[in-house]
């Protein structure tokens, strides 16, 4: 694992000492845990360009129109970083003003805090103008006591949670979400966190999956057929539930976090994406910046422990990006959005400045030679799609 001291030394080695701005030589890499932008967008930004959308197509399975979205984990005070309601609302307004129209949240994020904060913006907007997704699998119950042993959320709402993948629990969860956000409908509902990586579950995730197979899956299929929601799928951090769900059901879409990024994408390209392509199903990519690591955070995939191979890739890719006049975050966001299987990416943000830099990153023209060099050095898969 790589320590913060190693990060600083690594930055000095490649000459990108300040990830807060354009790389400068002779300085050290300063990785901060505070809020705010960690890496400014480099390269030629076409301010007149629109954010990418999906072309209309005849498909059995729903695809969201807007390819650039916003994840709601940070709005729930994720990673125990406290943001005020005012700061999050300013971020959300910046997202809307920049053209973002795809919003993803969850009851789990801040134990309802993210949903409520998203509602501060979205309840006042025309419901037909944006895509909204949330999740089911955890029901919240009021409690005067803070949730113990929660590394996830700082100053979360006064609730505890328990897992419930039953039909009645699924319907109640959706109704609770609609009340918290203050809207009449959801576009996408994801069955959340059915994965052995979920520390609450471990190997018991299969038992919970069986509960969902009997309850949540048929209920969401019924709600889709009734027109109450447009689509349903799974929001998961490992691919285990993908293949298992395709054996027994017909989901529309998958939210895959931590599974497709410029640093780590081989399994998704070789196994998961082909499975979905055969069924014309799409993927929303969560955490395209590996939990903030590719934007300069001192964490990787929600953990402060940074695997050495990932750190080495980061250093090498940063060298190539610097050579071609761009930054690695810009490359990472555009890389994650490039595959046809991907219908959207949803990087998170907690400040309006982070929104501005993420949106700018999607409007940079990345030199083709940059991608050629990454492939020639084995830093990304030879068959990985890259932005055209």
Domain span at 353: 4-376
pLDDT over 80 at 45, yes or no = yes
Q: Give the model's confidence band at 155: pLDDT under 50 very low, under 70 low, under 90 confident, else very high.
A: confident
332-355 average pLDDT score: 97
The Cα–Cα gap between 217 and 248 comes to: 9
pLDDT tens, position by position, 217-238: 999 999 999 888 999 999 999 9
**What pLDDT score does 347 carry?**
98
Query: How big is the CA angle at 110 (ends 144 and 170), to the nearest 5 degrees?
Result: 90
Classify residue 388: in a domain, yes or no. Answer: no
- Assess contact for 275 and 242: CB atoms under 8 A: yes
Q: What's this model's pTM, rounded to 2 decimal places?
A: 0.91
List the structure tokens of 152.
């996830």
Q: Which helix (H) or strand (E) holds 135?
A: strand 131-136
Q: Is 135 a catalytic residue?
A: yes
Select which of 62, 66, 130, 135 is catalytic.
135
**What pLDDT score does 150 carry?**
61
Query: How big is the CA angle at 39 (ends 45 and 24), to the nearest 5 degrees?
Result: 90
Select which of 62, 109, 190, 208 is catalytic.
109
192-206 average pLDDT score: 91
Q: Is 109 a catalytic residue?
A: yes
Select which of 40, 62, 66, 104 is catalytic.
104
Q: Which residues contact 102 (CB under 8 A, 6 or more apart)?
A: 64, 65, 66, 67, 68, 69, 70, 130, 131, 344, 346
103-121 average pLDDT score: 97
**Number of domains present in the structure of the chain:** 1
Classify residue 265: in a domain, yes or no. Answer: yes
The CATH number for 271's domain is 3.20.20.100
Classify residue 384: in a domain, yes or no. Answer: no
Classify residue 381: in a domain, yes or no. Answer: no
pLDDT tens, position by position, 271-295: 999 999 999 999 999 999 999 999 9
The Cα–Cα gap between 229 and 133 comes to: 10
**What pLDDT score does 149 carry?**
61
Classify residue 386: in a domain, yes or no. Answer: no
Classify residue 385: in a domain, yes or no. Answer: no
Output the average pLDDT for the chain: 90
Percent of the chain with pLDDT over 70: 89
């Amino acid at each position: 694992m790589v320590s913060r001291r190693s990060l600083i030394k690594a930055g000095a080695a490649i000459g990108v000492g300040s990830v807060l701005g354009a790389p400068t030589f002779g300085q050290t890499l300063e990785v901060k845990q505070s809020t705010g932008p960690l890496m400014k967008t480099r390269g030629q930004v076409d301010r007149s360009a629109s954010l990418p959308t999906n072309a209309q197509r005849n498909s059995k399975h729903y695809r969201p129109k807007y390819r650039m979205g916003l994840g709601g984990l940070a709005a729930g005070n994720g990673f125990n970083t406290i943001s005020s309601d005012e700061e999050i609302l300013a971020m959300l307004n910046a997202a809307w003003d920049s053209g973002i129209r795809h919003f993803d949240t969850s009851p789990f994020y801040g134990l309802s805090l993210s949903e409520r904060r998203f509602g501060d913006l979205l309840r006042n907007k025309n419901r037909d103008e944006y895509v909204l997704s949330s999740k089911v699998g955890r029901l919240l119950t009021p409690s005067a006591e803070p949730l113990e042993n929660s590394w996830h959320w700082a100053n979360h709402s006064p609730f505890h949670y328990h897992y419930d993948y039953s039909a009645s629990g699924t319907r109640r969860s959706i109704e609770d979400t609609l009340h918290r956000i203050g809207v009449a409908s959801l576009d996408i509902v994801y069955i959340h966190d059915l994965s052995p990586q979920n520390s609450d579950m471990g190997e018991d995730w299969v038992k919970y999956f069986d509960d969902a197979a009997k309850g949540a899956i048929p209920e969401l299929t019924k709600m889709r057929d009734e027109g109450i929601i447009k689509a349903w799928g799974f929001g998961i951090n490992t691919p285990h539930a993908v293949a298992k769900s395709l054996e027994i059901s017909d989901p529309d879409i998958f939210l895959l976090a931590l599974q497709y990024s410029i640093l780590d994408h081989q399994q998704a390209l070789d196994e998961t994406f082909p499975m979905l392509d055969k069924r014309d199903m799409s993927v929303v990519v969560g955490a395209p910046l590996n939990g903030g690591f590719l934007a300069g955070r001192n964490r990787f995939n929600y953990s402060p422990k940074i695997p050495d191979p990932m750190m080495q890739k980061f250093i090498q890719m940063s060298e190539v990006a610097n050579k071609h006049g761009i930054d690695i975050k810009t490359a990472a966001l555009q890389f994650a959005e490039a595959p046809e299987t991907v219908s959207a990416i949803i990087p998170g943000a907690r400040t309006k400045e982070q929104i501005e830099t993420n949106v700018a990153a999607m409007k940079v023209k990345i030199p083709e030679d940059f991608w050629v060099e990454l492939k020639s050095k084995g830093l990304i898969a030879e068959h990985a799609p890259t932005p055209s």
